Structure 1
Amino acid sequence: MLDTAALSQLLNQPCKIVITTHHKPDGDAMGSSLGLYNYLIQQGHHVQVIAPTDYPEFLAWMPGNEEVMIYTGQTEKAAELIAQAEIVFCLDFNNLTRINEMGELVRQSSAVKVMIDHHLEPEDFDDYRYWNINACAAAQLVYSFIVEELQRPDLINADVATCLYTGIMTDSASFRLPNTTAAVHRIVANLIEAGAVNWRIHELIYSNSSENRLRFLGHCLSNKMEILPEFKTAIIAVTREELKKYDTNTGDTEGIVNFALSIAGIRLAAFVVERTDMVKLSLRSKGEFPANEICKKYFKGGGHRNAAGGQSDLSLEQTVEKLKQILPEYKTLLIQ
């Protein structure tokens, strides 16, 4: 493993750098990636952000977004850039399977691999690791990496601040989760002072929905939500046909599970959606309930205690039934 001094020395001269994040990037994935991008370009580095897949349109306004490359649309060019890179930053993920086909390209690259992440059980593919499972967002860690490790708070300009604020805001559910500590609020205050316009960022993320998305949300809450009071659980299951009917785009399902969790008395919420190749699950929980344990044990996934995801090769109906059959195992935790 490299130490910070060795990495700082590498970064003291212009390098060819690739920044990547997990597939179907969310606000923290893109916020941390573009925040780091806007920091590095100030020092003359040649930087390319490569997202494994597309991401929601409501994230496309962030500074530097116009320079992002989507791997699935430019596979040959992306592979060339990864092969030529001297440093590859891996943000908001810690297992190379999370970047799909790009994983083996990164693994085989001779570049120094830097992981900045807050998820459990990291894979040992990295040369430098800045990792803390107690951080509320990867963007929080990117801020600390720049300010505390690299000692460059002077390069937190408005563009960097805007992107990092977006990442922290979205991954902390607008500063509502338990890991939104006093230290996080101090970082956020510093980002606002550096130029992040907090109210505008919130508006661009949360008040920028299409009509179709809102109608789809209404359909999910009115017609698709099932409450299991004996387990304090809510489940929303959506078919491929319903996604097509409402002309949903990437990101339109994001956050729907949180509406189910907001019901008084509910401790576990699940959003189960039938995709083209498999069924995906998003679980959210309150308190000490281990949503990540269910995803890891039964659905080939994982994540944080209160926010986790998984997948299933079963049909949508069979996946929902499997989830229901698991709940009695956790009844004591759910009803306490």
Structure 2
Amino acid sequence: MFNYENQINPFTSLFRGRAMNRAPTIFLGLMGFVVSSRPMNKETTQIVEKLLASPQKIVIVGHKNPDGDAVGSCLGLSFFLKSLGHNATVIMPNDFPDFLKWMPRCEEIGIYEKEVQKSTEIVNASDIIFTLDFNSLDRVGDFEGVLKAASAKFVMIDHHQQPADYAVATYSDVKMSSTSEMVYHFMDALGEADKLSKEIAINLYTGIMTDTGSFRFSSSSPTTHRVAAKLIEAGAESAIINQKVYDTNSPERMKLLGVALNNLVILPEMHTAYITMTQKELDDHNFKKGDTEGFVNYALSVKGVVFAAIFIENKQESIVKISLRSKGDFSVNDFARNHYSGGGHINAAGGKSSQDLNNTINEFISILPRYKNELTDAL
């Protein structure tokens, strides 16, 4: 068991709705978003234990365009729930990147986009649905309608800001490095840390490593490193995992990175840098899902830059996909919510634009002067 007497309890939870059958003891902001949370306590632990008291049919869902944290947390949780005697199935809205397709049991992940009928039947037959690494059902794309129609009880585990109110049990902590770290704390809070297997450890470590930029981001707390150490002790070989994720680039991806860096634009007065990627540039380099992962961080690494963005044209969906990163106190979560129907974390967020690429860039540049003081203060 993790020693909570000597550490801050990282398990910050919000349990509300049908399971409690009374008014929730939380504060709700505008539009139903939760803006505060409370620590794990005996009552909330008992709620989760009651949900899992007997064998259940459980579906675990990650967000659309799943990244390492979504895949790692979902697979890690599935191994844990199976060890408790439950029937657990992981379903993703669409496929995940090739550089993650070595993870333990990843071949068992269902892809809704490829198996609509089968995925729908599994969801309809489920007792509990865990949603991991997202906090609003619109983050699963076309899978949203299936989830909304389900009769199962929902449990949310997530570390993004402003969770929506759809689950009977919500474990939400924006200070956490990753949802994968939260899954470890979830196990520990239930008194089941001894169920940590090598397979769970590998999946959770991969999720933590990828979501923290190999522990470079400020979200990597002392507790994060202690959890990582426990995962390594349980069999997660950090050097091998790092190699499998970061050292298996295709020649096409490396050439695409060259194009991205050639497209880098720096706006010194705004302490901002951005990268553009056209659909043609992607097609010319045999783009695969995940190939642009991390490109935005190169823009953020420029000296004097505190705000970075990458704008990726997606002709198939008629949108421009946007990833935002920042340093210091400049909130890209607020920026994404205010301008791009998105959100995320203070220093990492995403969104989209329905305008074409050129108009999206022009609008972005026109918005920046409003934030000049904040960007300067973030230096």
TM over 0.5: yes
Q: 1:34-183, aligned counterparts within 5 Å?
A: 34-148=75-189, 150-183=190-223
Q: Which residue of 2 aligns with 1:207?
A: 247
Q: Which residue of 2 aligns with 1:245?
A: 284
Q: Which residue of 2 aligns with 1:18?
A: 59
Code of the residue aligned with 1:227 in structure 2: it is I
Q: Give the secondary structure class of the aligned counterpart of 1:100.
A: helix
Q: Give the secondary structure class of the aligned counterpart of 2:113.
A: helix
State whether residues 37 and 64 of structure 1, in contact with CA within 8 Å, keep that contact through their aligned partners in structure 2: no
When structure 1 is superposed on structure 2, of 233-242 and 106-115 the one drifting more is 106-115
* Cα deviation, residue 7, structure 1: 2.3
Code of the residue aligned with 1:102 in structure 2: it is F
Q: Which residue of 1 aligns with 2:339?
A: 298
Separation of aligned partners in 1, 2:148 and 2:356 = 33
Separation of aligned partners in 2, 1:108 and 1:7 = 23
* Cα deviation, residue 311, structure 1: 0.6
Deviations 1:283-323 (A, max 9, x none): 10110111111111111111111101111111100001110
Q: Which residue of 1 aligns with 2:266?
A: 227
| Normalised TM-score (structure 2) | 0.87
Separation of aligned partners in 2, 1:163 and 1:232 = 36
Deviations 1:187-242 (A, max 9, x none): 11111111111111111111111110001001111x21111111111110111111
* Cα deviation, residue 333, structure 1: 1.6
| Normalised TM-score (structure 1) | 0.97
Matched residue count: 334
Deviations 1:29-81 (A, max 9, x none): 00100010111122232111000011100111111101100000000110111
Code of the residue aligned with 1:87 in structure 2: it is I
Deviations 1:250-281 (A, max 9, x none): 00011000011011111111100100221111
Separation of aligned partners in 2, 1:56 and 1:14 = 32
Separation of aligned partners in 1, 2:263 and 2:121 = 45
Code of the residue aligned with 1:181 in structure 2: it is S
Q: Give the secondary structure class of the aligned counterpart of 1:73.
A: coil
Q: Which residue of 2 aligns with 1:307?
A: 348
Q: Which residue of 1 aligns with 2:73?
A: 32
Q: Which residue of 2 aligns with 1:330?
A: 371
Separation of aligned partners in 2, 1:71 and 1:48 = 12
Which structure 1 segments of 5+ residues have no match?
Answer: none
Code of the residue aligned with 1:136 in structure 2: it is S
* Cα deviation, residue 179, structure 1: 1.8
CA RMSD in angstroms comes to: 1.0
Code of the residue aligned with 2:357 in structure 1: it is L
Query: Which structure shows the higher helix fraction?
Result: 1
* Cα deviation, residue 109, structure 1: 1.3
Separation of aligned partners in 2, 1:270 and 1:180 = 22
Query: Are 2:252 and 1:216 equivalent residues in the alignment?
Result: no
Moved over 3 A (4+): none
Q: Give the secondary structure class of the aligned counterpart of 1:177.
A: coil
Which structure 2 segments of 5+ residues have no match?
Answer: 1-15, 20-43
* Cα deviation, residue 13, structure 1: 2.4
Q: Which residue of 1 aligns with 2:35?
A: none
Q: Give the secondary structure class of the aligned counterpart of 2:351.
A: strand
Q: Give the secondary structure class of the aligned counterpart of 2:214.
A: coil
Q: Percent identity?
A: 43
State whether residues 107 and 125 of structure 1, in contact with CA within 8 Å, keep that contact through their aligned partners in structure 2: no
* Cα deviation, residue 121, structure 1: 1.0
When structure 1 is superposed on structure 2, of 297-306 and 36-45 the one drifting more is 36-45
